[in-house]
Structure 1
Amino acid sequence: MNSQKAKKKAEMDLAAEKPLVEMPKSKIVFYFSIVWLLYFIDFVARFGVNPLYPLMQKELALSDPQVGLLGSVVLFGMAIFVLPLSYVADRWSRSKLVSLMALVWSACSIASGLARSFPMLLVARCGLGVGEASFAPTATSLITSWFKRSQWARVLGFFNSGASLGIFVGSVFSGYMAVTYGWRAALILMGIPGIILGLLALLIPDVKAQQKAQSGSEKEVKLSVGSAARVVAKNKSMLLIVLFYGLYNMAIISMIVWMPMYFTRVMEMDVPKAATLAGLTAILGVVGYPLGGYFSDLLVKKDLRFRMWLPSVMAIIVAFLFAAGFYMKNIPIIFAASFLCTFVNPSLNASSQELVPSWYRSVSLGVIIFGMQFIGMLGPYTIGVLSKNFGLLNAMVYMQIALIVCFLGFLYIGTIYRQDCQRAQEEEAAAKL
């Protein structure tokens, strides 16, 4: 009996080491480059607006809560549409959906620059969130189909580096563009590259068609909303990750959105300098995301529970560093916190691919991102309200309470994570018999 179990485990481990689809390395590099560049442009368009808030606030007479709402409404659009679009990705075509989403968010970035009132700007930013809603889960499911499981966290860490570079380039570009040409021109120009790359994404082949051609099998797992919901609902680890990743995102997104305003208002910097510093805090993720993914994969080889325990340790360290940095107005400490906070995402994103069979990977990360955005959208607006009542400095410090809660949450998930991953592997193996 023990030998049969050992043989079964060995077969499952071997299957997990094979990519879902096999292609020449040159093609993988080309397709990966397209989705990486799109993720980069995604974050240029999403966060390049942050340094523009002081100028927008002055021209449109916006209050702090209204500024916070402009950041939150993007996450609202993402939260509402991430699950339906992730389901469409698994049922339809992941590559075509990636292309469509890029075209939508790019058009809405241009519309943001043309908006003449707060309501028009609010609708345009919400539309941008809708366009970006399922890009990350859909792109992640494409990427994990091209690489072996033991490489996932590292590859996804490098993929996430596009987000950090996008925040940096978007912040610096928009800050200097706004001073020279105005904030409207900056938003319009940020929408153009996504249209070009969105059309280029149509060259990426469909994963399901490739998998069927390579396996020579006509057998296909039938997907339904009900089956997807059942897979998620019975997975305790995933449900808790949705909650605590959401809290984590609420805190980190709040820091990103309000960082330029913190530098201009609390530390009395001009807009270009504040934009550059805010961008530099983000670019640290170009190293932090891949490094976090590397450590995650390295630790998981020793014990799968480290997929959750690494984020737990990072959350508590980052909470105290951010609180100290903001309170002391110490830029090096703020930079240290901004660097270490990027260690968390590769582990949590990889977990979404480990906790479910391969045909639910887009839906799985979609569910997690739903929690990230639905809970996360409360962050920027909450900072705005706290800032109005207690001042921006105190608001930034108070938000770190969410990270302390995440430390405890991820610590607990680690104790049940291994069993839930094993269940997903067994379900996939059984479906292939």
Structure 2
Amino acid sequence: MATHHINDEGEDTSIGIPRTYAWIVFALTFGLLISDYMSRQVLNAVFPLLKNEWALSDTQLGLLSGIVAVMVGLLTFPLSLMADRFGRIRSLTLMAILWSLATLGCALAESYEQMFIARFLVGVGEAAYGSVGIAVVVSVFPREMRATLSGAFISGGMFGSVLGMALGGFMAQHLGWRWAFAGMALFGLLLATLYPVIVRESRIAPRRVADAASQAALQIKRPLRTLYASRSVIAAYIGSGLQLFVGGTVIVWMPSYLNRYYDMGTDKAGAMAAIIVLCSGAGMILCGMLSDRLGLHRPDRKISLAITYCLGSCLLLSLAFALPFGTAQLVLICLGMVIAAGTSGPAGAMVANLTHPSVHGTAFATLTLANNMLGLATGPLITGKVSDLIGLDNAFQLVPLISIAAASVFLYMKRHYHNDMARLKGGGVEENAIEAAAETQV
């Protein structure tokens, strides 16, 4: 059997970028991702208040949450493609301004219909931030850190969810739910003003700027085909989306679960849910670091770990929701959530490896599309409908089973990864040779 070395990790785009500046870029981009998810998840902390004030069903509440993920799923690809072509930093700034203003609109909503429109606009603003933001992050660090950086960056969504639910629950309990939305909006506007002042397009991509002429033809012909040209990259999209069905659903419905079955107020339910989400965010980072370490000379091991994360979270969460309400159940939920989203780092690394650097924003947009359409949008909505029929506690017992399907998809990916990497590199060499021959004839 052939030995596969570190060159199976793809092209290194960080050459010429000082490491200190790279970490500054990461910190600011990570901060805006936190703002993104604070604005998105603060809604979950005020579910009980909105349900009582406007007499809403669980299906309506799930739709208020799901519409953001739906818009992210529908718009992430075209908006990310535009950002790849016309400037990632400018695009990220405009996105942050839009979702922050829309969150302010949530604070001013006087009816369910107005809240729905505001949440729709939050989804439009947030649509491409995750994909374009992670493309910026992976471009400024060495390729050997891709799983770590992917997991760490995506964990910003978890930490933002923690802050959104904890602070949102506290503010809603003491100041009213409108102030919860307003606080998230002001934080986002502050960071959106600071971001373009420090992070500059010309500084994050010196190699790309220097090679612009030689890359022009490739940006039109070969790179976009790498988004869907291999079975492995398609499996990465699907497996990641299916697994996030589980983690995303638990995050959205956990405050309501604690409110109904543990008789917690919005502040205590938000704080407890925040601890559970924090476990998931920490797990993203740890699982990403473990994937990079064990996969240093064997990238396919990252896929094996993704399979392990899926099956492990299925076992722990299934046991947790089968237990009676109490401390033991909450501990098992925390442990299950540590590894439930651990596939984010390996999946992000595989997508970066299997696609061309010039379209990484669009590649991560495709990953985001799968994450939202298969997981983050579908999970809360389906669980809300099932909850209306059999109760939220019974619905939660079914959710972890989706991880078995995710593990199966990653297993399929593992069988084809090395062949697809070899085909990707060989295809690039062959295409370059054809183009060179054509230029010679001309």
TM-score normalised by L of structure 2? 0.90
1:27-86 CA deviation, whole Å, 9 max, x = no partner?
Answer: 222222110111111111111221110001111111011011111111111011000011
Q: Distance between the aligned counterparts of 1:142 and 1:168, measured in 2? A: 24
1:211 is matched with 207
Is 2:184 aligned against 1:185? no
1:298-313 equivalences in 2 (<5 Å): 298-313=293-308
2:88 is matched with 94
Give the deviation of 1:14 after TM superposition: 11
8 A contact 1:51–1:260 mirrored in 2: yes
1:129-144 equivalences in 2 (<5 Å): 129-144=123-138
Q: Distance between the aligned counterparts of 2:234 and 2:8, measured in 1? A: 28
Q: Distance between the aligned counterparts of 1:284 and 1:432, measured in 2? A: 46
8 A contact 1:87–1:225 mirrored in 2: no
1:42 is matched with 36
Tell me the amino acid that sits aligned with residue 381 of structure 1: L
1:54 is matched with 48
1:367 is matched with 366
Moved more, 421-430 or 399-408: 421-430
Counterpart secondary structure, 2:214 = coil
8 A contact 1:99–1:198 mirrored in 2: yes
Give the deviation of 1:301 after TM superposition: 2.4
Q: 1:184 to 1:310 in 2, by over 3 A?
A: same
Of 263, 267, 285 in structure 2, the residue corresponding to residue 290 of structure 1 is 285
Q: Distance between the aligned counterparts of 2:410 and 2:12, measured in 1? A: 29
Give the deviation of 1:169 after TM superposition: 1.3
Q: Distance between the aligned counterparts of 1:229 and 1:119, measured in 2? A: 39
Q: 1:15 to 1:68 in 2, by over 3 A?
A: closer
2:120 is matched with 126
Q: Distance between the aligned counterparts of 1:199 and 1:127, measured in 2? A: 20
Q: Distance between the aligned counterparts of 1:258 and 1:213, measured in 2? A: 45
Q: 1:367 to 1:394 in 2, by over 3 A?
A: same
Give unpaired runs (5+ residues) of structure 2.
434-442
Moved more, 219-228 or 280-289: 219-228
8 A contact 1:307–1:414 mirrored in 2: no
2:439 is matched with none
- What value does the CA root-mean-square deviation take over the aligned residues? 2.4
Is 2:20 aligned against 1:26? yes
Counterpart secondary structure, 1:339 = helix
Give unpaired runs (5+ residues) of structure 1.
none
Give the deviation of 1:24 after TM superposition: 2.3
Tell me the amino acid that sits aligned with residue 333 of structure 2: I
Moved more, 297-306 or 16-25: 16-25
Counterpart secondary structure, 1:303 = coil
Give the deviation of 1:395 after TM superposition: 0.5
Q: 1:296 to 1:209 in 2, by over 3 A?
A: closer
Moved more, 257-266 or 245-254: 245-254
Of 232, 241, 250 in structure 2, the residue corresponding to residue 255 of structure 1 is 250
TM-score normalised by L of structure 1? 0.91
Of 80, 83, 99 in structure 2, the residue corresponding to residue 105 of structure 1 is 99
1:142-153 equivalences in 2 (<5 Å): 142-153=136-147
Tell me the amino acid that sits aligned with residue 320 of structure 2: G
Give the deviation of 1:232 after TM superposition: 2.6
Moved more, 332-341 or 153-162: 153-162
Is 2:58 aligned against 1:64? yes
Give the deviation of 1:213 after TM superposition: 4.3
2:436 is matched with none
Is 2:229 aligned against 1:230? no
Q: Distance between the aligned counterparts of 2:217 and 2:193, measured in 1? A: 30
1:356 is matched with 355
1:413 is matched with 413
Q: Distance between the aligned counterparts of 2:145 and 2:426, measured in 1? A: 21
8 A contact 2:169–2:270 mirrored in 1: yes
Counterpart secondary structure, 1:22 = coil
Q: Distance between the aligned counterparts of 1:17 and 1:358, measured in 2? A: 7
1:392 is matched with 392
Tell me the amino acid that sits aligned with residue 309 of structure 2: M
Q: Distance between the aligned counterparts of 2:385 and 2:12, measured in 1? A: 49
Q: Distance between the aligned counterparts of 1:333 and 1:307, measured in 2? A: 25
Tell me the amino acid that sits aligned with residue 62 of structure 2: G
Q: Distance between the aligned counterparts of 2:296 and 2:25, measured in 1? A: 28
Q: 1:405 to 1:360 in 2, by over 3 A?
A: same
Q: Distance between the aligned counterparts of 1:121 and 1:232, measured in 2? A: 35
1:328-373 CA deviation, whole Å, 9 max, x = no partner?
Answer: 1311001101111132111111111111111121111111111111
Of 264, 267, 288 in structure 2, the residue corresponding to residue 269 of structure 1 is 264
1:234-288 CA deviation, whole Å, 9 max, x = no partner?
Answer: 2211222222222222222111100011111122222211111100011124432
Give the deviation of 1:421 after TM superposition: 2.6
Tell me the amino acid that sits aligned with residue 352 of structure 1: V
Give the deviation of 1:135 after TM superposition: 0.9
Give the deviation of 1:164 after TM superposition: 2.1
Q: Distance between the aligned counterparts of 2:222 and 2:366, measured in 1? A: 14
Tell me the amino acid that sits aligned with residue 99 of structure 2: W
Tell me the amino acid that sits aligned with residue 312 of structure 2: I
Q: 1:191 to 1:426 in 2, by over 3 A?
A: farther
Of 147, 154, 161 in structure 1, the residue corresponding to residue 148 of structure 2 is 154
Q: Distance between the aligned counterparts of 1:211 and 1:191, measured in 2? A: 36
Of 178, 186, 190 in structure 2, the residue corresponding to residue 196 of structure 1 is 190
Q: Distance between the aligned counterparts of 1:236 and 1:194, measured in 2? A: 38
Give the deviation of 1:383 after TM superposition: 0.9
1:94-143 CA deviation, whole Å, 9 max, x = no partner?
Answer: 11111111111111111111111112111211211111111111111111
Q: 1:352 to 1:113 in 2, by over 3 A?
A: same
8 A contact 1:106–1:191 mirrored in 2: yes
Q: 1:60 to 1:228 in 2, by over 3 A?
A: farther
